[in-house]
Structure 1
Amino acid sequence: MITPIQHVKKLENNTNNVHVLTFNDQMEYVVKFHLLRHRKALVNEWLAYCLAKYLQLPIPASKIVEIPRDVYLTIPELNDLPYVKHHIALQYKMNRVNGYSASTVNEIINNEQLAGIIALDYWLCNTDRTRNNILLKGISKNQYHLSIIDQTKCFGSTSWTVSDLENLPEGILESSTHQMMARFITSEVKFKEQLEIIQAIPMLLIDEILSFIPECWMLTKKERKKSDC
């Protein structure tokens, strides 16, 4: 298991629970910290990450990590908050820009994965697929590889309740980023294919994903059961 050894910086243009840390493998990771006011954010992130990996979608490698108390206390924004041991770390991707920073996108080379991203967002009711939450790696002029980040607002909220899950919206998610990606999808059949794959996901897999969620993230048995449906 990797262990953090040094806080590097707070991630720019983000909330105070996202920081870059150096770990004992000498690599830098973006760490998303569990905060009580966003108590479902990491639950959402972990569930969406594992499902995206199962669907072979482009998403940075992530893992649940332990942050020692002495390292936790070196982060100013967390000093006055209760200590929590487990958080999520994802590989820090260099040489990538978000969707707002790419002036012109003429081609996405992994366009066969885009329908899967949109289908997953709808399945998990991810209401925050903005251009801030995609990463573009330049391949050549105006040609990019697209990956997704930040699934903290799945199920419409970073602090959802069981009653919220019972009343999720069923209409169109207003996302200009989805519209941008849809331009590069070659056939509507791609959506049908992805929906069939999602519908065939075994419930035991979701059970296993939820079993890794630490107790300190405070996901109750009732909430586990409901998010498993």
Structure 2
Amino acid sequence: MIEPIAYRKKLEGKSNAHLISFNDGKDYVVKYFQPGFEKTLPNEWVSYCLARYLGLPIPFARIVDIPQSFSSQVPELASMDSIPYQFALTYIPDCLDGHQVLNIPKITNSNELASIIVFDYWLYNSDRTRKNILLQEEEENAFRLWAIDHAEVFGTYNWQSKDLEQLPAGLIESATHQIMASFIEDEDQLFEQLDVIQTIPIFLIEEMVSMVPDEWMVTKEEKKTMVHSLLIRRKKVLQDLIQKFVNKVYRPIHDNEHSL
């Protein structure tokens, strides 16, 4: 397992994220466990595993162990709960978030945007704000889009099992989804991604959830509920949600473009 070598800074936001350099030569955004936000790390890890399998544009992530001997030397970390294992996402330099780019003329990986939208509806990520995308300029006025921050999938960062049994089945209000939809050339891309999600083997979803470290205090029953929620939502809810998104969001955006 890689080891931390230098603390860089605390990052903005409520996710208790810190930029730390490791001995593999990379910087990582490390999220620590914190009371009141108990499901942040499990949410991030399960989302990452599923998103990675589906080929979403997300930075590489891993579970890391920050030794107490390291944390105790950093004022910002000294008071942290010293449970083993944190969630670490590779830091991508020279990026702006969606709030910092007022005009986005071109997305170079527009073929991947449908996968983010369908994924967000599957896991009920209502927190896909402009702050939770990164825009990496690859050429003048052309950006690669990365999806980050899945702390609030399943509706919240401190869900209970009963919450997962009654996740909302309506449209998610997201200006960022609307921006992404405007760059998707064909609505069939959304339904194609839906089909891919339906093919993920159940045992693979179970395995991904089972890999949540015990130290993150997710009970066996809660892990079962996570799996059950994912299976029920993709089987009984997701198709209708994506059709609603196409009817209410995607088509009006593109109809307006064609009328201009």
Q: Shorter-chain TM-score category?
A: over 0.9
CA displacement 1:109-142 (0-9 Å, x = unmatched)? 1111111100000000001000100001112232
* Structure 2, gaps ≥5 residues long: 229-260
Deviation at 1:164, TM superposition (A): 0.4
* Contact 1:10 1:16 (C-alpha < 8 Å) held by counterparts: no
Query: Which residue does the alignment assign to 2:66?
Result: 67
Distance 1:89 1:172 in 2: 30
CA displacement 1:45-87 (0-9 Å, x = unmatched)? 0111111111111000000011101112234344334311110
* Contact 2:15 2:151 (C-alpha < 8 Å) held by counterparts: no
Alignment of 1:201-220 (within 5 A): 201-220=200-219
Distance 2:145 2:14 in 1: 23
Following TM superposition, where does structure 1 have runs of at least 4 consecutive aligned residues deviating by more than 6 angstroms? none
Distance 1:91 1:217 in 2: 21
Distance 2:67 2:117 in 1: 37
* Contact 1:126 1:156 (C-alpha < 8 Å) held by counterparts: yes
Query: Which residue does the alignment assign to 1:10?
Result: 10
Distance 1:14 1:116 in 2: 25
Query: Which residue does the alignment assign to 2:134?
Result: 135
Query: Which residue does the alignment assign to 1:173?
Result: 172
Deviation at 1:16, TM superposition (A): 6.4
Q: TM-score scaled to structure 1, two decimals?
A: 0.96
Q: Which has the higher helix share?
A: 2
Query: Which residue does the alignment assign to 2:192?
Result: 193
Letter in structure 2 aligned against 1:6: A
Q: Sequence identity, in percent?
A: 45
Deviation at 1:189, TM superposition (A): 0.6
* Contact 1:28 1:92 (C-alpha < 8 Å) held by counterparts: yes
Alignment of 1:1-229 (within 5 A): 1-11=1-11, 13-15=12-14, 17-229=16-228
Deviation at 1:92, TM superposition (A): 1.1
Structure with larger Rg: 2
Distance 1:16 1:165 in 2: 21
* Contact 1:50 1:209 (C-alpha < 8 Å) held by counterparts: yes
* Structure 1, gaps ≥5 residues long: none
Alignment length (residue pairs): 228
SS of equivalent to 2:36: helix
